[in-house]
Amino acid sequence: MATESLGKILRTDESVEALTREAETLKAKLAEEKAKLNDVDMCVVSQRLESLQQFNIKPRRVLKGHQGKVLCMDWSSDKRHIVSSSQDGKMLIWDAFTTNKEHAVTMPTTWVMACSYGPSGSVVACGGLDNKCTIYPLSLEEDPASKKKAVATHTSYLSCCSFTCSDYQILTGSGDSTCALWDVENSQLIQSFHGHAGDVMSIDLSPTETGNIFVSGGCDKVAMVWDMRTGECVQMFEGHEADINCVRFYPSGDAFATGSDDATCRLFDLRADREVNCYKKESIIFGCNAVDFSVSGRLLFGGYNDYTVNIWDALKGTRSAILYGHDNRVSCLRISPDGTSLCTGSWDYTLRVWA
């Protein structure tokens, strides 16, 4: 159906040159249109808001146990369990509150770059250089590995995965430049998403109730918004000068933030269809690997290659604080579901919980 509808809109005999030209003219026209609508800068609007006071975020837990670089982590919906995966092929389930490890799974691969907790909290998924996304049901009696199940297969490494609103579906992103939605039960592809020109590095599902959309970012420096029902790309955002490492929706779902190797984080608004803020500083020269918002959307946390977490005032665009503590790159970062804490994972083999 996709190709057919394309044929209706675009002549199939159109040459690459013509297409490129059309893309350029459209881009120019769009820029013009947007310039007309761009009546005010975010920094000006946000002057109305009071400045943030100094807040006091400290490391509260250090999770030690990985024997390699921590690459990915995710919170359980119970607000205290964490799944993390590392370069040495281990996936650990932590009770972060007590810092106890509850399960350990050894993957048949190194660089487990993606892991995700199922919404029910009773299943986790992970994958990496094995090009697969494997599901592990968690139970107290049995070793999770005994009931593992490979659900998704890509033609290159798995860079990110995320359950949708249920344990039955999982969305994956891969180095093969595609994203895909899979049925967990039958390991069946429900929908694939083609359009990125480079490795997909990160995906995030829209938090809105009607939002059947998700956003992806990758090495082609483009962030794309997809309709999960049709598999079509509905919006495309350019602006970054290097790989996009992380995408994350603003809590209301009206925008998303990106973190990139060009050492900036950006905020793209879906309705305005443009970049509305860019978080950068001359002193920040290292790439950003992970971003997330506080509950109110006022704070944007960024995990950087310079071992720090920078906390931005997402509205005023200024930096409010730096968190020091890790001894190597901060590779992943997530705010807990209730917003009470922030968890960071690092190449220094540890995870830290800040509050």
Window 255-284: contact mask with other proteins (x via CB under 8 A): x-----xxx-----x-xxxx-x-----xx-
CA atoms within 13 A on the CB side of 215: 28
Q: Which two structure tokens, joined as six digits, stand for 290? A: 């992970």
**Phi/psi of residue 89, each to 5°?**
90, 10
255 contacts 247 by C-beta, under 8 angstroms: no
Q: Which residues of 239-258 are buried (b: 16+ CB within 10 A; e: fewer)?
A: bbeebbbbbbbbbebbbbbb
**353 Cβ contact partners less than 8 Å away, ≥ 6 residues apart:** 59, 60, 61, 62, 63, 96, 341, 342, 343
Of residues 68-87, those binding other proteins (CB under 8 A): 79-80
The reply to whether 345 sits near other proteins by the rule CB under 8 A is no
Q: Identify which of residues 214 and 347 has a Cβ nearer to other proteins in the complex.
A: 347
Question: Under the criterion CB under 8 A, does residue 62 sit at the interface with other proteins?
Answer: no
Q: How far is it, in rounded angstroms, from Cα 206 to Cα 179?
A: 15
74 vs 348, beta carbon nearer other proteins: 348
Using CB under 8 A as the binding rule, the residues of this chain from 135 to 154 that contact other proteins are none
What is the Cα–Cα distance from 343 to 320, expressed in whole angstroms? 18
Q: Which is nearer to other proteins, 106 or 166 (CB)?
A: 166
| Minimum gap (Å) between residue 140 Cβ and other proteins | 19
C-alpha dihedral sign at 129, 130, 133, 134: negative
Tell me the number of residues near other proteins by CB under 8 A: 120
The greatest distance separating any two alpha carbons of the chain, rounded to the nearest whole angstrom, comes to 63
In the range 99-128, which residues lie near other proteins by CB under 8 A? Answer: 111, 113
Q: Smallest distance from the beta carbon of 204 to other proteins, in angstroms?
A: 16
Out of 158, 215, 219, 351, name the contact with other proteins by CB under 8 A. 219
State how far the Cα of 144 lies from the Cα of 134, in Å rounded to an integer. 11
Question: 185 with 149: CB under 8 angstroms?
Answer: no
Closest listed residue to residue 344, CA positions, set 299, 296, 289: 289
Choice from 61, 66, 103, 266 touching other proteins (CB under 8 A): 61
Residue 298-327 contact track with other proteins, rule CB under 8 A, x = bound: xx-----xxxx-----xx------x-x--x
Report which residue type is found at 47.
Answer: Q
| 16 is a site residue for other proteins (CB under 8 A) | yes
Q: Which of 60, 101, 148, 149 binds other proteins (CB under 8 A)?
A: 60
Contacting other proteins within 17-46 (CB under 8 A):
19-20, 22-23, 26-27, 29-30, 33-34, 36-42, 45-46
Which residues, 156 to 195, sit near other proteins by CB under 8 A?
156-157, 164-166, 168-169, 175-177, 183-186, 188, 190, 194-195
Q: What does the block give as tokens for 127?
A: 């994958």
Q: Which of 242, 278, 318, 325 binds other proteins (CB under 8 A)?
A: 242
